[in-house]
Structure 1
Amino acid sequence: MKKIIITLTHLLIITSVWSQNTVTGIFTELANTQIKLVGNNGFETYAIDSTQANEKGEFSLSFGIEDYGMGYLLSENNKSFVVILAVNENLQLSGVNFELPESIKIIQGKQNQFFDQYATEHPRREQCLSAWDYLTKIYKLDTLFSTQRVPKQSIETEKKRIKAEDGLFLANLPEGSYVSYYLPLRKLVSSVSTIAQYRTEEIPATFAAFRKMDYTDPRLDKSGLLKDAVESHFWLIENSGRSLDSVYIEMQISIDRMLENLLTDETKLNEITEHLFKFLEQRSLFPASEYLAIKLLNEKNCTINNDFAAQLESYRAMKKGNIAPDIVFTGDVSTPGYIDQNKPKKLSEIKSTYKVIVFGASWCPQCPKELQEISKNYSTWKQQGVEVVFVSLDENKQTFESFIKPFSFISICDYKKWESPIVKNYHVFATPTIYLLNDKREILLRPNSVSQLNSWIDWYLVQGNK
C-alpha cells in the first residue's frame, strides 16, 4: 500500500511538472526589471507569474493548464505585450522592450507566430478595403466616374480577393488550436466600428455572428475579449442607422439569444447580464435594460444573485408607466418658496404638473454636480410646471442642512440612509437616482443624468409651448 501511495505521489509531481509551460525572453532594455505574466478570467485579469530579468534582460515565466488562453507580459512601466499561452507550447521571445512591438521576434511558439503574422497583415488588408470602399462610392455616385464599368469591376474583384485571402488564413489555422478560436473572435469585435461607418451591408451578418456566440465557452473567458464582445454587440445595434424603435427590437432579439445560451450556466448568466445591464444603463438605453431586467426576473430556470436581483426588481416595480408611491415628508423638510399654510406635507399635495424626485447625498461623488445642475435649471423648470423634491440619504442633521442650503427646491431627510422607507419604496440602490412623474405620479422617465432630464423638459415642455 505504501508503495502505491509513493508511486501516485510521484505521478502527481511528474504530471504537475509536465503541465507547466514557459515564456522566456531577452529584452535588452528590461535588464534588472520586474516582469509579470498576466492572464484573463472573464471580465477580470490575474497574475500568473512574475520574475526579475537579469542584467542581460533575460527572464523566464511559467504557466499551467488553468492559464491556457490569452495573456500578456507586463513591465514595471505598465507597458504590455499580448501573447498566446498555448497547450504544450513554450514561447521564446527577443526584443528591445514591450513599447517597441516591431522590435519583438517570436523565436519559438507556433501559435504566437500565427497570431503575430495575422496581427501584422490583417490591419493592412483592412486599410486597403477601406480605400477600395471609398473608391467604390466615388465610382457609383460621381457622374464623372459612374459610367466606367471596368474600374468598378476591378475594384470589386480586388475587394473579394483581399477578403478571401484573409478568410483563407483563418481557415488554415491548426484545427483545435486556441489561435483558431481567438483570431476570428478578435476580427469580429475589432471590425464593429468600421462596419458601422463604412461597410453597413455587413451589419446583418455581424449581428448574426454575435448572436451565435457561446458565452459559456471557457475559451471566451480566457480571451480577454469578453467585455468587448458584449459591449461591441450592443454598440453596433445602437449605431446601425436604424430607427430607435428598430434598435430596441434588435436589442431584444439579441438579449433573448444571449439568455438562451446563458441559462445553462448560472455563474456566467449573473456575471454577463449584470455587466450588460450596467452598460445599457450607462448609454441610456433604458428600454433595453428594462427588457433585460424583466426577462431575468421572470425566468424560473435560473437564480439571480441577491444584490443584482434587488437592482433588477426596481425595474419591475418602478418601470415607465407605473404609479410611483406617495412620499410623506417626514424628518427634516425644507420647502423654500412655500408659505406656511401652503407647505406640502406629502408628494401628492404638490400641485405642479410634473415632479422630479432625486435621491442623493452629500457623500455621493456625483450628486453635488447633478444637484447644482438642477439648481441652475430650477427656475426655468418651475415656469414649465416642474417641481423638484430632493430626498437625501445623509445621516447627519448638520451635514444635510449645510448641503441643501443653496437649493431653492424641496429637500427632505429622515437620516435613515438606505433603511429609509422612502428609499425602499422607490427601490433605490444607487445615488443619484432620478424619476420624472406627472401629476398622477405616473413614471414618465428614469433619466440617468440631469442633462438627459433637462433635454426632455426642453423638448417636450419648453419647445412644445412655443
Structure 2
Amino acid sequence: MKKIFIIPALLAAFSLQAQFTVTIQAPADFKDQDAILYTLNGSKDIIFTKEQSKNNTWTFRYPKNYMGMMKVYFPGSNNTFNFISENKDVTVKLETQGNKVKDIKYLDEANDVMSKLQEGSQKKEMILPALTQIKEYYKDNTDFGKALKTEISRLSGGTEGIDQSQHPFIYYYNSNYSKFLSNNPAKKVSQDEIINFIDKSNDMLETSSLLRPILVAYLNTGGNTNVGTSVDKLLDTLKVETPRGQTVLSELIDIFDVYDMQEFKNKYLSLAKNLKCTITDRLASTLKSNANVEIGAAFPDYKFQSPLNTNAKSLYDVKADKKIIIFWSSTCSHCEEELPKLLTKYNDLKARNIQVVGLSMDVDRDSYAKKITAFPWINDSELKGWNSSYVDTYNVHATPTYFILDANNKIINKPEHVADVLEYFKLK
C-alpha cells in the first residue's frame, strides 16, 4: 500500500518546487522592505507576488515555465527595474544611493548577455550612422581606419552571436526587434508578414514587450489610410475568440485610446463587449477600466493618501454640486500650459460649489510639493507615477486627463482640454 501513496507524494512535493528563483540583493542602507514581482502580458504588467526583505535580500520562487520580461517594483521608494527570464535562476545585485537605485548588476548569464546586447543596440542606433560617415574620410589600411572598420562590423552584428539553444528568449527578442522595429531594417516588412508573425508566434510574443510596438508598426505600414480594414484583416486571421486574438484586441483598444482615435476605439470596444466566448483576464481588465469611465457610470471612489486642502478621507467624502477630476503631473508640459488657465477661474468655480480634485502622476516629492503650492484645490498623489493605482482604475493614458462628476459622483462629461472644462461651465 505504501507505494500507492509514495508516488503522489513525490509528485506533490515536486510541484511545490520553484521552476526558477529570482534573487534581488541590495545594500544594507536600502530601506525598502517590500518588493513586487511582475510578469508581462502584451504591454500590461501583471502582479505575481510581493515579498519582504530578509537581510536586504528578496527571493521570489516562480512555479512554472516563463520566458520573457519581468519587473521588480519597490513601492516604498518607487524604484523599478526590468530584467528577463529564460526559465533559469536570476540573480541581481543593486547599487543604491539615498534609497535610489543607481546601478544594476546582473549576475546570471542571460541578463548579463541581454544587458550587453541592449547597450550595443543603443550604440548601433545612435553611433553606427556617424561612424559609417566618418569612415569615408579614412583609408582602410590606416590604424584608425582598421579600428573604425572593426567597430562598424561589431555594431552591425545582429543575432548571429546568440546561441538560440542557450538563450531562446534573447534570440527571439533581438531577431524580431531587428526585423520589425529597427530604424535600419534589412527590408521593409509587409502587413501580411506582420499578420503571419503575430498569428504564428509562440507565447513569447505576449511576454516580450514587442506586441504593442509591432501593432503600431502594422497600423503605420505603407502609410495606412484604412485602419479599420487593416484591423479587421488582422483580427479575422487571429480569431478574436482565441487568447491571442483577445490580447491583440485589448492592445488595439488601448492604442486607439492613447492616440485619441475615438471612432476606432468605440468600434473595437463594442466588438469586445459583444463577444460570446470566455473572456481572458487581459481583455476583462480593459473592459472594466473602460466601463469605469463611461458617461453615466459612477466614478469609482478613491481613498486619499496624503490630501491637501481638504479634510475628506476619500473622493466620495468631498461634497459638491459638481467635481472636476484632473490627472496631471508636474513634469507634463501640457499640464503646465493648461492648469494655470483653470486657476484663473477657480474662485468662480468654488462660488458655484464646484470642487476641483487633482490626482498627480508625479514621482518626485519635491517637484510635486513645489507645484501644488500654486493650486488651492484638493491635491493628492501616490508619488508612484504610472505605477499609481488609479491608472488602471480610471483608464488613464495621458496627462492631463479630465472628468466632470455630478453630486452623486456620476460621470457627466469627459473634456479633452481645459478650454472644454471652462466651456462646459460657461466660464470662457
TM range (shorter): 0.5 to 0.7
Q: Please give the alpha-carbon distance, in whole angstroms, between the structure 1 residues aligned to 2:238 and 2:207.
A: 18
1:182 aligns to 2:173 (yes or no):
yes
Q: Please give the alpha-carbon distance, in whole angstroms, between the structure 2 residues aligned to 1:105 and 1:122.
A: 18
Corresponding residue for residue 222 of structure 1: 207
Corresponding residue for residue 12 of structure 2: 12
Q: Does the 8 A contact of 1:51 with 1:61 survive in 2?
A: no
Aligned to 1:256, the other structure's residue is in SS state helix
- The CA deviation at 1:281 is 3.6
Q: How does 1:30-45 map to 2 (within 5 A)?
A: 33-34=32-33, 36=35, 38-42=37-41, 43-45=44-46
Corresponding residue for residue 365 of structure 1: 325
Aligned to 1:39, the other structure's residue is in SS state strand
Corresponding residue for residue 99 of structure 1: 101
Q: Please give the alpha-carbon distance, in whole angstroms, between the structure 2 residues aligned to 1:307 and 1:39.
A: 18
1:169 counterpart letter in structure 2: G
Q: Please give the alpha-carbon distance, in whole angstroms, between the structure 2 residues aligned to 1:299 and 1:86.
A: 34
Q: Please give the alpha-carbon distance, in whole angstroms, between the structure 2 residues aligned to 1:127 and 1:61.
A: 36
Structure 2 unaligned regions, length at least 5 = 138-145, 292-320, 328-334, 342-349, 355-405, 421-428
Corresponding residue for residue 273 of structure 1: 249
Deviations 1:142-170 (A, max 9, x none): xxx9xxxxxxxx9xx99994575123135
Q: Does the 8 A contact of 1:68 with 1:86 survive in 2?
A: yes
Q: Please give the alpha-carbon distance, in whole angstroms, between the structure 2 residues aligned to 1:260 and 1:279.
A: 20
- The CA deviation at 1:255 is 4.8
Aligned to 1:204, the other structure's residue is in SS state coil
CA gap of 1:30–1:21, structure 2 versus 1, over 3 A, is: farther
Deviations 1:282-323 (A, max 9, x none): 4233454466468768989998979959x89xxxxxxxxxxx
Q: Does the 8 A contact of 2:239 with 2:245 survive in 1?
A: yes
Corresponding residue for residue 350 of structure 1: none
Q: Please give the alpha-carbon distance, in whole angstroms, between the structure 2 residues aligned to 1:271 and 1:60.
A: 30
Q: Please give the alpha-carbon distance, in whole angstroms, between the structure 1 residues aligned to 2:33 and 2:92.
A: 16
Deviations 1:112-171 (A, max 9, x none): 2321221222212222234257779xx9xxxxx9xxxxxxxx9xx99994575123135x
What is the TM-score of this pair, normalised by structure 2?
0.53
1:166 counterpart letter in structure 2: G
Q: Does the 8 A contact of 2:25 with 2:57 survive in 1?
A: yes
Corresponding residue for residue 81 of structure 2: 81
Corresponding residue for residue 252 of structure 1: 229
Aligned to 2:238, the other structure's residue is in SS state helix
Q: Does the 8 A contact of 2:19 with 2:65 survive in 1?
A: no
Corresponding residue for residue 316 of structure 1: none
- The CA deviation at 1:4 is 1.0
Between Structure 1 and Structure 2, the one with more helix by share is: 1
Aligned to 1:11, the other structure's residue is in SS state helix
Q: How does 1:345-360 map to 2 (within 5 A)?
A: none
Q: Does the 8 A contact of 1:20 with 1:62 survive in 2?
A: yes
Q: Please give the alpha-carbon distance, in whole angstroms, between the structure 2 residues aligned to 1:262 and 1:112.
A: 35
Aligned to 1:77, the other structure's residue is in SS state coil
Corresponding residue for residue 116 of structure 1: 115
Number of positions where the alignment pairs a residue of Structure 1 with one of Structure 2: 309
Q: Please give the alpha-carbon distance, in whole angstroms, between the structure 2 residues aligned to 1:133 and 1:250.
A: 37
Q: Does the 8 A contact of 1:20 with 1:63 survive in 2?
A: yes
Q: How does 1:372-451 map to 2 (within 5 A)?
A: 431-432=412-413
- Structure with bigger gyration radius: 1
Q: Please give the alpha-carbon distance, in whole angstroms, between the structure 2 residues aligned to 1:306 and 1:23.
A: 27
Aligned to 2:260, the other structure's residue is in SS state coil
Overall identity of the aligned pairs, in %: 11
Corresponding residue for residue 335 of structure 1: none
Q: Please give the alpha-carbon distance, in whole angstroms, between the structure 2 residues aligned to 1:180 and 1:66.
A: 17
CA gap of 1:22–1:234, structure 2 versus 1, over 3 A, is: closer
2:90 counterpart letter in structure 1: L
What is the TM-score of this pair, normalised by structure 1?
0.49
Corresponding residue for residue 141 of structure 2: none
- The CA deviation at 1:13 is 0.4
Q: Does the 8 A contact of 1:237 with 1:251 survive in 2?
A: no
Q: Does the 8 A contact of 1:216 with 1:265 survive in 2?
A: no
CA gap of 1:173–1:117, structure 2 versus 1, over 3 A, is: farther
- The CA deviation at 1:260 is 1.8
Q: Please give the alpha-carbon distance, in whole angstroms, between the structure 2 residues aligned to 1:45 and 1:210.
A: 26
Q: Does the 8 A contact of 2:40 with 2:206 survive in 1?
A: yes
CA gap of 1:92–1:274, structure 2 versus 1, over 3 A, is: closer
CA gap of 1:297–1:99, structure 2 versus 1, over 3 A, is: closer
Q: Does the 8 A contact of 2:38 with 2:72 survive in 1?
A: no
Aligned to 1:104, the other structure's residue is in SS state strand
Root-mean-square deviation over aligned CA pairs: 5.4
CA gap of 1:14–1:30, structure 2 versus 1, over 3 A, is: farther
Aligned to 2:23, the other structure's residue is in SS state strand
Corresponding residue for residue 263 of structure 1: 240
Q: Does the 8 A contact of 1:30 with 1:96 survive in 2?
A: no
- The CA deviation at 1:46 is 0.9
Q: Does the 8 A contact of 1:35 with 1:52 survive in 2?
A: yes
1:261 counterpart letter in structure 2: L
- The CA deviation at 1:214 is 4.0
Aligned to 2:4, the other structure's residue is in SS state helix
Q: Please give the alpha-carbon distance, in whole angstroms, between the structure 1 residues aligned to 2:269 and 2:324.
A: 25
Q: Larger deviation: 213-222 or 111-120?
A: 213-222
Q: Please give the alpha-carbon distance, in whole angstroms, between the structure 2 residues aligned to 1:127 and 1:251.
A: 35
Q: Please give the alpha-carbon distance, in whole angstroms, between the structure 2 residues aligned to 1:270 and 1:260.
A: 12
CA gap of 1:23–1:40, structure 2 versus 1, over 3 A, is: closer
